[in-house]
């Protein structure tokens, strides 16, 4: 991870920027920051980020991978390739998760359409979340559903095919 002055001063060195789905490797070179993708997103999860480049903010919802952002991108900064995943981001459940503190909660699994989050019983009697990164598509539905905000979406997850 490269740390620049802006990232340090804004505290953004702690989290990776998540670009819209199907962002190309040269996204910041190609994106003109026109805002068309922000307006096209029906979920309203795309926001102007650092330098005006679009970023995903899961605090208000999830990505449905509807491709609206790709359809309006005139600069080819967002390009869907056949059989390409929208991105390589996965959910991470933090250590302060309620079940890990003995409180029953299954909010994340209830909204996970891909069934990537399952619960297995533990000695404490409270089922603990288990994330299967091979099923997680990084949609972010679990992020806004978590009552204690301990779920993040990151590209630091387990790499898999």
Provide φ and ψ at 9, rounded to 5°.
-70, -30
- Rounded mean pLDDT of 110-114? 95
Task: Look at residue 3 and tell me whether its pLDDT is greater than 60.
Answer: no
97 is in an annotated binding site: no
Q: Give the burial string for 10-27 (b: 16+ CB within 10 Å, else e).
A: eebeeeebbbbbbbbeeb
List pLDDT tens digits, range 33-42: 999 999 999 9
Look at residues 89, 154, 99, 84 and name the one whose alpha carbon lies nearest to residue 130: 99
34 is in an annotated binding site: yes
Quote the pLDDT of residue 160: 36
112 is in an annotated binding site: no
List pLDDT tens digits, range 93-109: 999 999 999 999 999 99
Quote the pLDDT of residue 121: 84
63 is in an annotated binding site: yes
Report d(CA 90, CA 56) in Å as an integer: 13
69 is in an annotated binding site: yes
Please report the domains of the chain, with CATH numbers, ordered by start residue: 5-72 (3.30.70), 90-154 (3.30.70.20)
Task: Look at residue 14 and tell me whether its pLDDT is greater than 60.
Answer: no
139 is in an annotated binding site: yes
Taking the complete model, does pTM exceed 0.85, yes or no? no
146 is in an annotated binding site: yes
Task: Look at residue 10 and tell me whether its pLDDT is greater than 50.
Answer: no
DSSP of 23-84: B-TTHHHH-----HHHHH-TT--EEE-GGG-EEE-GGG-------HHHHH-TTSSB-PPTT-
111 is in an annotated binding site: no
């Amino acid at each position: 991870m490269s740390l620049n002055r802006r990232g340090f001063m804004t505290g953004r060195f702690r989290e990776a920027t998540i670009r819209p789905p199907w962002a190309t490797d040269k996204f910041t070179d190609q994106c003109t920051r026109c805002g068309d993708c922000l307006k096209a997103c029906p979920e309203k999860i795309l926001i102007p980020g650092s330098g005006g480049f679009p970023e995903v903010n899961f605090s208000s919802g999830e990505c449905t991978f509807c491709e609206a952002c790709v359809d309006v991108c005139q600069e080819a900064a967002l390009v869907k390739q056949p059989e390409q995943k929208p991105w390589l981001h996965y959910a991470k459940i933090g250590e302060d998760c309620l079940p890990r503190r003995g409180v029953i909660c299954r909010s994340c699994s209830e909204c996970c359409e891909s069934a990537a989050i399952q619960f297995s019983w533990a000695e404490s009697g409270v089922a603990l979340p288990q994330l299967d990164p091979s099923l997680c598509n990084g949609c972010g539905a679990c992020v806004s559903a978590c009552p204690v905000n301990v779920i993040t979406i990151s590209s630091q997850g387990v790499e898999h095919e």
